[in-house]
Chains A and B, each alone.
Chain A
Amino acid sequence: MSTKNEKIALDIEAYLKEHENKDMLRFLTCGSVDDGKSTLIGRMLYDSKMIFDDQLSAAESESEKYGTTGEKIDMALLVDGLQSEREQGITIDVAYRFFTTENRKFIIADTPGHEQYTRNMVTGASTADVAIILIDARKGILTQTRRHSFIVNLLGIEHVIVAINKMDLVDFSQDVFNEIKQAYGELADELGIKNTYYIPLSALNGDNVVDRSTHTPWHTGKPLLELLDNMDISKEIKEEDFRFAVQYVNRPNLDFRGFCGTIASGSVKVGDDITVLPSGKTTKIKSIINAGDITEKNREATTKEAYAPMAITITTKDEVDISRGDMLVHTKALPRVSNSLKVMLVWMDESSMQVGKTYDIKRGTSVMPGVFEHINYKIDVNTYERTEVEKLELNDIASCKMVLTRPIAADKYKENRQTGSFIVVDRITNNTVGAGMIVDVAKREEETKVKVHREYTEAEIALNKYIRENFPEWNCKEV
């Protein structure tokens, strides 16, 4: 019995107490077909006891059918999910897996590495704090390594673990390891990746996965799991400005009007001066409900202060007009408000992106029509070369100018992953056709300054809404 199991058996309550204070880390695994991604994940789940006997025996019987490892159980079959995939022996979609240690709960985004699956990798990377980039020790840095690193960096992942796998096939050679490490270091510098960590690995045999391998006495770094378990992933100060997108207006009766949402960044206290964007109206925080504090007995629990990523409900001192999609921020730390944005766009659909065509842009909780007015350049994910193009195809990544029918309060993605990101939805098929990251926000303050003070009738408001929804190309403003 392991020490962990002993603790569970002896004093479960103490064990539970310890686990109450775990935090969470999301990571992405990138590698091309056959680099050993599934094997590595299977190994982590297996070694951290996330695989049960029945799943193991299912994998055993499947190993005989589809496996590639001869006598041993194919760890990859523990994780490769959909049937079609099992038959083809490849990973074609983003899959999420979970395991836990005493310090952390981990969420793995397992994504395919081929160029035609760039969109899947982008998807997996969007929520990850850390990326593991697999490199086959025999092959070294390949085009795909450049591609994976580019995407990881583009999506704002600040910690990259370079897992040099299949070390067993190069006799655990320190020279091979060092060569790859040096070459990757140059790539990381070129891209500006902040933190890199290197580990010599054999996913198949478990070297340096959970325990330090005896085959690599020259390696002083931590084994993979220990590294993941202790990594400091706290954010840059800049992400700490208070940002809160209003998600839902809660109005159970005339006495209560609460604005529900999730704090994207920073913290907020009762009494704070806040500004509603894009309208620019100001008020103070009257009360805060942290939904997490609500119990069956106390359905009115309030708190003095709340912070990201809590799901809260705010009430305000004054009766200002606030609705879904508005952003509440501290009056002393305002973001820019504009309808003109410079963005990096990843195209995710088979039908190409057309310059000037109207798409729905969903950023946080607001959805509004917008167009890509201009493609500045398309970037090659393998060579990082920039080219001029007229339109974008599936998996293309490009710098574009995006113009929305309404101004929004926006941050740069580099500074705030929540308020700086958006998805693009096709207005006919409703598919998610693109994902974007805000690079810069134009100073177009005149947009919000011009305000006509006039009372509108309900019919006029309805007409305005009709025009905005059906004729976005008129750029009609909301009244």
Chain B
Amino acid sequence: MKTKEKLTHLKQLEAESIHILREVATEFSNPVMMYSVGKDSSVMLHLAMKAFAPAKPPFKFLHVDTLWKFHEMIEFRDNRAKELGFDLVVHSNPEGIAMNISPFEHGSKVHTDIMKTEALKQALTQGGYDAVIGGARRDEEKSRAKERIFSFRDKQHRWDPKNQRPELWNVYNTAIQKGESVRVFPISNWTELDVWQYIYLEGILIPSLYFAKERPVVEYEGTKILVDDERMPKELREKAKMEMVRFRTLGCYPLTGAINSTASTLPEIIKEMLLSTSSEREGRLIDKDQIGSMEKKKIEGYF
């Protein structure tokens, strides 16, 4: 029989990702999907809902809540969990809560270490997950380009860039010892443009923070951030101005830069992205520290 048709690139990427998700579901005893509420997570959730239809995804969805996420993200997350009926687990670091960690007071490094890196480790240890599915893409950052789709982590969740398993064809080595785990990246081969195009074509719901709107923002550490609640220091809040802005990535509101934009529909967002001259991570303060900072964070255990 001759194959007449060919799948478009998005349908090929979709099929590859679904293949990976099914492989995780069947080869690991306790997998979990990281759900960070952003656009990549929305795509992953969408893929998971497809992969196991008519059944629901046979794994949990984990959100590490730093307690400083945009308020809308939390609302969006809970609505999606209700509508789609997936199994949501939320974790925040109790020590960080006790210390009342604030990015404004303690700085982005301490906040990220405690509320994100540490919290993630806690959640993974508590959950006893042997496979953690994440939405990282290889086009995001240079050190990611060499990440495997099934990326091995030792008992301390550490990544060893010099000792990665070769990954050939679409045959994934899923063998691990007790206590070890893997990070799995089903959308490794998608680019930012692929993600946006797929969201557009499939009509995937994403938080409205991605769309431009008049919002109160202030200048903070070289970027514009949203006045999302009263925890922002008063002297900052007083400087707030209403501006047409949107966000290219979503995270902790004090650490996520807004960009001035009038793009209020998906095609407009895509247009802006295609014509823009800076990469998606520019608005994310975490990467600015130094070259290869992401690589260091991964070796330490931050995804």
Assess whether A12 is in contact with B268, with CB atoms less than 8 Å apart.
Answer: yes
Residue B22 at the A interface, CB < 8 A? yes
Assess whether B146 is in contact with A52, with CB atoms less than 8 Å apart.
Answer: no
Residues of chain B in range 274-288 having any CB-CB distance to chain A below 8 Å: 274-279, 282
Assess whether A422 is in contact with B10, with CB atoms less than 8 Å apart.
Answer: no
Residue B11 at the A interface, CB < 8 A? yes
* CA of A120 to CA of B166, assembled, Å: 7
Assess whether B278 is in contact with A52, with CB atoms less than 8 Å apart.
Answer: yes
Assess whether B279 is in contact with A55, with CB atoms less than 8 Å apart.
Answer: yes
* CA of A54 to CA of B287, assembled, Å: 12
Interface residues of B (CB under 8 A from A): 1-16, 18-19, 22-23, 25-26, 49-56, 84, 138-139, 142-146, 161-162, 164-171, 173, 175-177, 188-189, 191, 193-194, 197, 200-202, 267-268, 270-271, 274-279, 282, 291-292, 295
* CA of A24 to CA of B15, assembled, Å: 13
Residues of chain A in range 75-111 having any CB-CB distance to chain B below 8 Å: 79-84, 86, 93-98, 100, 104-105, 107, 110
Known contacts A241-B1, A292-B14; A81/B171 CB under 8 A: no
Known contacts A8-B274, A12-B267, A16-B270; A425/B173 CB under 8 A: yes
Assess whether B146 is in contact with A94, with CB atoms less than 8 Å apart.
Answer: yes
Assess whether A104 is in contact with B3, with CB atoms less than 8 Å apart.
Answer: no
- Some 22 contacts from A to B, beta carbons below 8 A apart, are A20-B8, A22-B9, A24-B12, A52-B279, A82-B295, A93-B161, A96-B189, A122-B166, A240-B1, A248-B22, A250-B52, A250-B55, A291-B15, A291-B50, A292-B50, A311-B22, A360-B175, A364-B171, A417-B169, A423-B171, A432-B166, A435-B166
Residues of A within 8 A of B191 (CB): 98, 100, 105
Residues of B within 8 A of A299 (CB): 49, 53-54
Classify chain A's interface size.
35 or more
* CA of A299 to CA of B295, assembled, Å: 39
* CA of A478 to CA of B291, assembled, Å: 53
Residues of A within 8 A of B168 (CB): 122-123, 126-127, 421, 423, 432, 435
Residues of B within 8 A of A364 (CB): 171
- The residue in chain B whose Cβ has the minimal distance to the Cβ of A435 is B168
CB contact between A324 and one of B5, B9, B26 (< 8 Å): that residue: B26
Assess whether A16 is in contact with B267, with CB atoms less than 8 Å apart.
Answer: yes
Residues of A within 8 A of B271 (CB): 8-9, 12, 15
Rounded to whole Å, the gap between the CB of A18 and the closest CB of chain B is 11
Residue A393 at the B interface, CB < 8 A? no
Residues of chain A in range 205-224 having any CB-CB distance to chain B below 8 Å: none
Residues of B within 8 A of A86 (CB): 291-292
Residues of chain A in range 139-198 having any CB-CB distance to chain B below 8 Å: none
Rounded to whole Å, the gap between the CB of A150 and the closest CB of chain B is 17
Assess whether A311 is in contact with B167, with CB atoms less than 8 Å apart.
Answer: no
Interface residues of A (CB under 8 A from B): 5, 8-9, 12-13, 15-16, 19-24, 50, 52-55, 58, 62, 79-84, 86, 93-98, 100, 104-105, 107, 110, 119-120, 122-123, 126-127, 237, 240-242, 247-248, 250-252, 256, 260-262, 266-267, 289, 291-292, 294-296, 299-301, 307-311, 313, 324, 330, 348, 360, 362-365, 417-418, 421-423, 425, 430-432, 435
Residues of A within 8 A of B14 (CB): 291-292, 311
Rounded to whole Å, the gap between the CB of B89 and the closest CB of chain A is 21
CB contact between A21 and one of B8, B25, B51, B138 (< 8 Å): that residue: B8
Rounded to whole Å, the gap between the CB of A21 and the closest CB of chain B is 6
Assess whether A266 is in contact with B1, with CB atoms less than 8 Å apart.
Answer: yes
* CA of A84 to CA of B11, assembled, Å: 36
Known contacts A55-B279, A105-B194, A430-B177; A237/B2 CB under 8 A: yes
Assess whether A98 is in contact with B138, with CB atoms less than 8 Å apart.
Answer: yes
Known contacts A12-B271, A248-B22, A432-B167; A19/B197 CB under 8 A: yes
Residues of A within 8 A of B143 (CB): 81-83
CB contact between B18 and one of A8, A251, A291 (< 8 Å): that residue: A291
* CA of A247 to CA of B171, assembled, Å: 11
* CA of A248 to CA of B24, assembled, Å: 10
Residues of B within 8 A of A313 (CB): 53
Assess whether A22 is in contact with B164, with CB atoms less than 8 Å apart.
Answer: no
Residues of B within 8 A of A250 (CB): 52, 55
Assess whether B165 is in contact with A308, with CB atoms less than 8 Å apart.
Answer: no
Known contacts A98-B191, A291-B51, A296-B49; A248/B267 CB under 8 A: no
Known contacts A96-B189, A241-B1; A300/B145 CB under 8 A: no
CB contact between B139 and one of A9, A98, A120 (< 8 Å): that residue: A98
Residues of A within 8 A of B292 (CB): 82-83, 86
Known contacts A13-B267, A79-B142, A294-B49; A240/B15 CB under 8 A: no
Residues of A within 8 A of B15 (CB): 262, 291-292, 309-311
Assess whether A289 is in contact with B23, with CB atoms less than 8 Å apart.
Answer: no
Q: Which of B12, B19, B165, B169 has most chain A Cβ within 10 Å? A: B169
Residues of B within 8 A of A432 (CB): 165-168, 173
